Structure 1
């Protein structure tokens, strides 16, 4: 296992700065996930840690050692990419052991390490197959196994599940979570999928335009976002945000320019009995839940999460009551106003 620290790291491509002075300390055995919109710099930052991108300024430390100028092969890290990049003419066993063979490791040691990794990843029955005979999830497990056999100091994952369908992504999230518990290894993971981030991470790093917007546990980011960007990025459906003067009633924070409330913290009531009224525009039935998209005039469209068997129909007029203590207040600059 390895601790990793970034000290004021920057990345420039010509005159364009894409990473803007990032400081981050990752403890041994942590599962850290980078999230953010496209172009925020999350994959670039991961590649800087791996040594695949040069660090323009600042330092990358691995176990306290300055690794900024080290080649990727010297850092003791391993990376799993979105593409499986398996050799089609090799068996699963040969794919997993290839890097060890190229490094001159003894055959008996290669067999031992591949068998151990295959046992962890439940690939023992597939070691003699070729990649074309495997499912997408199995191929990704082989790619992960290829990393495990190298005994890295940390694992780096760059959107490893984005090529899989929805069912396989759920399965592989489970497998990666089990792998982290089993290996107790440091893992840094990039994804655009916040469900992956919320379910896998010890801490999430939210990036915005090359800077860290907030770092925290999934619960901290969801319940106490530092600013409007994090509040609306974390959570699905996203937090409702509207001008503070669009609502009325007790419990509204004072001095706020904008108010935020999550869909599950809104209850439909009789018109006039809540903090705002609106007309149901769309009803989205999802089984256990139903989302009501309510047109609330000055507040815009507000999403309300209710029980799946709701009787509410499009065109109905509702009052919307907000759960006490669940409102988020933001100043004119988008910063959270704390109580």
Structure 2
């Protein structure tokens, strides 16, 4: 294991700059997730760390050495891709052991490392099968196993769950979380799914337009977003944001032009008893919870999370109360106040 540091790294494709001076310290054994919308640069940044993309400017440090100019094979990193990239004619055992065989390790050592990876990933029962006989989740575990046997400095994951259905994604999130607890390895993980980021990461790096918008623990980003972009990207459903002039009974700080409130931090009351009135527009029943989309006029909609056993119906007039200490204010530059 080793720490990884990015020092003012930039990436240019011709005249187009896609990574714009990123500074980041990743501690040894830390699980860090790069998250952001499509085109924000998260996969490019991961590929730069791996050495699959050249770094135009800046430094990439692995441990105490400058790895900026090193080829991928010299960096000691293992990358797990979105596609499993397994050899279809090989068994699981041979797929997992292939990197070691290519490196010329003795057969006994290969067998020992492969068996240990199979134990960690619960692949023991599938070692003689071929990839076509496995589920998507099992194939992804084989791809991860192929990385584990190399005993890398760090693991790099590039949207590894995006090809799986919803149930398998949940299962594999658990598997990856347990893997990190077991191996205690440095892991860098790219995803566009903020739920994956919130449930897996020690720290999340939110990227926007090739720059870091904010870095912090899932709780820090959820409770104390630095700007409107982070506030609306982290949290599901997204934070409600509306002009401060629509709210009554709230005193915004100087310079505030917008107010944000998460669906779970708002509650419904009788008309006239809250900060903004409206009518029930749509109810989204999810079992334990119901999300009530309120039409508050002038194009303002507010999503409120309530108990699943509500008797409300479309058209019902209600008022919305924002919880004390749970309201976020933003200035004209979308920065939190």
* TM more than 0.5: yes
Structure 2 equivalent of residue 285 of structure 1: 285
Give the corresponding residue for 2:245: 245
Residue by residue over 1:282-334, the C-alpha shift from the partner in whole angstroms, topping out at 9 and shown as x without a partner, is: 11111111111111114611111111111110111110001011000001100
Task: Please list the CA deviations of residues 137-191 of structure 1 after superposition, one character each: whole Å capped at 9, or x if unmatched.
Answer: 0000000000000000000000000000000000000000000000000000000
CA contact (8 A) 1:246 1:298 kept: no
Q: 1 CA distance for matches of 2:251 and 2:237?
A: 23
Question: Which is worse superposed, 319-328 or 292-301?
Answer: 292-301
When residues 223 and 253 of structure 1 are mapped into structure 2, their CA distance, relative to the original with a 3 A threshold, is same
Q: Tell me, in whole angstroms, the C-alpha distance in 2 between the residues paired with 1:251 and 1:243.
A: 13
State the alpha-carbon separation in 1 of the partners of residues 326 and 167 from structure 2: 33
Question: Could you list the runs of 4 or more consecutive aligned residues of structure 1 that deviate by over 3 angstroms after TM superposition?
Answer: 250-255
Alpha carbons 2:247, 2:275 under 8 Å: kept: yes
Partner of 2:172: 172
- Matched residue, 1:85: 85
- d(CA) in 2 for partners of 1:38 and 1:304? 28
**In structure 2, distance between residues paired with 1:20 and 1:252:** 34
Q: How many residues align?
A: 337
Q: CA deviation at 1:255?
A: 3.6
**Which residue of structure 1 lines up, in the alignment, with residue 200 of structure 2?**
200
- 1:99 aligns with 99
1:25-44 matches, within 5 Å, as 25-44=25-44
- CA displacement at 1:251 relative to structure 2: 5.5
1:46 touches 1:190 (CA, 8 Å); kept in 2? yes
Aligned-pair RMSD on alpha carbons? 0.8
Give the corresponding residue for 1:3: 3
Residue in structure 1 matched with residue 71 of structure 2 by the alignment: 71
Question: What CA distance in whole angstroms lies between the structure 1 residues aligned with 2:103 and 2:163?
Answer: 30
User: Structure 2 matches for 1:117-128, cutoff 5 A?
Assistant: 117-128=117-128
Q: Tell me, yes or no, if the aligned pair for 2:194 and 2:235 is still in contact at 8 Å.
A: yes
TM-score by length of 1: 0.98
Give 2:156's aligned residue. Answer: 156
Q: Could you tell me how far apart the structure 2 residues matched to 1:317 and 1:252 are?
A: 26
Separation in 1, partners of 2:289, 2:35: 26
CA distance, structure 2, for counterparts of residue 250 and residue 58 of structure 1:
46
CA contact (8 A) 2:275 2:322 kept: yes
Residue pair 1:282, 1:292 contacting (<8 A) in 2 also: yes
Tell me if structure 2 keeps the 8 A contact 1:242–1:299.
no
Note the residue ranges of structure 1 that are not aligned, 5 or more in a row: none
> Separation in 2 of the partners of 1:252 and 1:279?
24
Counterpart contact for 2:291–2:304, Cα < 8 Å: yes
Find the residue that maps to 1:297 and give its secondary structure. Answer: coil
TM-score (norm: length of structure 2): 0.99
Within the alignment, does 1:309 sit opposite 2:317 as a pair? no
